[in-house]
Structure 1
């Protein structure tokens, strides 16, 4: 049920998200964090700096050594989903648009984050505007996120709004930002945004969506391509496929290295791929980001 073609048949976004996560989590053991809490898990030796409230004095009486009681607890954070809604996200590959894949991915991850007790928020970039749905943990808020996510209609260009810093305003702690984009930028607008966001010291995950036809340089019988944002057209020559793919590889490697230098997690995902990879990447990064 994680195949995008199958998901396209599910018109109800909450149902789609629940279906994806139920299938993904079937047999998946959630990892937990060790720390002081209510349910006892195990002992460990006392280390300088440990909170003395969690010393077990009975163990000290029996062994004449200091031990700390550990337990399994779940930590919660704020997860913000940032969606690129520029016109290029209308790119279609085998009847799956990038914005559709972005919708499936964001809805599923938001549902998963909500299950873990995290707050979720939605932010949509389109032209010079930023739609904001502040981060909250309750199920009713998740339904509002689904509704607004369903209304996203790509148009215009990607332009960084002046008030982008409201993404993290007033939280007072580190957060996790999941940015879903096609990385299409005329003058480095997305790179500049990521520079600014990484400077705020928050965890950032970038899912770079690409159509398989873009990667393979396979547009069937078409000999002309149109830029969805500028309307410009270009003639293509299938004989240049190898040159195109070499330049594309170099371009993607460059993006990856730039984001690595900013400590931003980056993953390229084909819109024909099942959602498994992105979901696992999210969980790994989510667990790394427990503060």
Structure 2
């Protein structure tokens, strides 16, 4: 049986300044590890949160710096670290994959996920987002099996609105769902918490949801409230709306008990 451990969901206010973002991330990882975290997630766009055209132009540099950072930070702090998404150039196209990378405490790559669902919306607050202008979707589910952390299902931000993805992850054995995000302030106030709780409850999984918060550039504001949610839907930790950390216990015995009491994964008919 895997022993209980602490996980951390980091909350940042990233900008277009890559070096400053990575410095901020490194410091927050250190705080999380000193508080006992063995699994740490950074939010979507942790290394760069600026205009889409600028992100596309800088994509090779962002990708290189992001991956070097994740490897070195995981080694330095001896922690399993998820960073994503960040742009990685896609083959035979001028666009990128929105990529999340899971790195082990020795700097080894454990899993690489390419965001499946792209955020192309026109919101009532007047903001328009067209992620597909610069990003192409991935194709694969990713569940990373760990002898010390359990089975980790990877996703990114807008994926959260597609329950079939998380049902597929839980059917593939996921016990902990990671959702690094940069949820908009407008949608987050109504949907963020309830969606995280729904994904936890319907799949009887823990959810670790790192987040962006605050204003990143004019007219781009994110909601914050990085969270750890347990398989019953209880919010174990909420980082509020400032930079910081949500930290909570991942308890395999608790997960087993909930799945025994409510064996919904065994009762599926479709």
Common topology (TM > 0.5): no
Q: Identify, as 1 or 2, the structure richer in helix.
A: 1
TM-score tier, shorter chain, comes to 0.3 to 0.5
TM-score, length-normalised on structure 2?
0.40
Structure whose CA Rg is larger: 1
More strand by share: 2
TM-score normalised to structure 1 length: 0.38
